[in-house]
């Protein structure tokens, strides 16, 4: 079955960087687009970014554009989110999700990022 396992979260200071990873198994990773979605404490879901199956196409929410970079290594079945210039408002649980053409059909358990001085 599909498994997505995020890692790399933690507590960081404003202005610093962090890289999240999402290790995928149970499906042919290299044939699916992948997404990051986040959820601030007590708040709703916010779509963050998408990367195409081959890594050639990427889109970002306006709130993270220019600061976050999505990437993937299909040889390692792993998705990444490089987060730079972190702000307090980036504090959230970050989920990776497997994307069908139009839907997020499988989700990881999430990785908590806290940005605080």
Partner 1 sequence: DIQMTQSPSSLSASVGDRVTITCRTSQSISSSLNWYQQKPGKAPKLLIFAASNLQSGVPSRFSASGSETDFTLTISSLQPEDFATYYCQQSYSTLWTFGQGTKVEVK
Q: Which residues bind partner 1 (CB under 8 A)?
A: 35, 37, 44-47, 50, 59-62, 95, 100-110
Nearer to partner 1, 78 or 106 (CB): 106
Q: Which residues pair with 38 in a beta bridge?
A: 46, 94
Instruction: Work out how close the CB of 45 gets to partner 1 at its nearest, in angstroms, rounded to a whole number.
Output: 4
Instruction: Work out how close the CB of 18 gets to partner 1 at its nearest, in angstroms, rounded to a whole number.
Output: 20
| Cα angle for residues 12, 14, 15 (degrees, 5° grid) | 110
Nearer to partner 1, 1 or 75 (CB): 1
Strands 111-115 and 10-12: parallel
Nearer to partner 1, 16 or 89 (CB): 89
Task: Give the separation between CA 60 and CA 27, rounded to whole angstroms.
Answer: 25
């Amino acid at each position: 079955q599909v498994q997505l396992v995020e890692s790399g979260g933690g507590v960081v200071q404003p202005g610093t960087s962090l890289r999240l990873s999402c290790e995928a198994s149970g499906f042919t990773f290299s044939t699916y687009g992948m997404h990051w979605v986040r959820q601030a404490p007590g708040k709703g879901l916010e779509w963050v970014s998408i990367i195409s199956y081959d890594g050639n196409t990427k889109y970002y929410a306006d709130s993270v554009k220019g600061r976050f970079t999505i990437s993937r290594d299909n040889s390692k079945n792993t998705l990444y989110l490089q987060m730079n210039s972190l702000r307090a408002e980036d504090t959230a649980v970050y989920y990776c999700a497997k994307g069908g053409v139009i839907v997020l059909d499988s989700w990881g358990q999430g990785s908590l990022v806290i940005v605080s001085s």
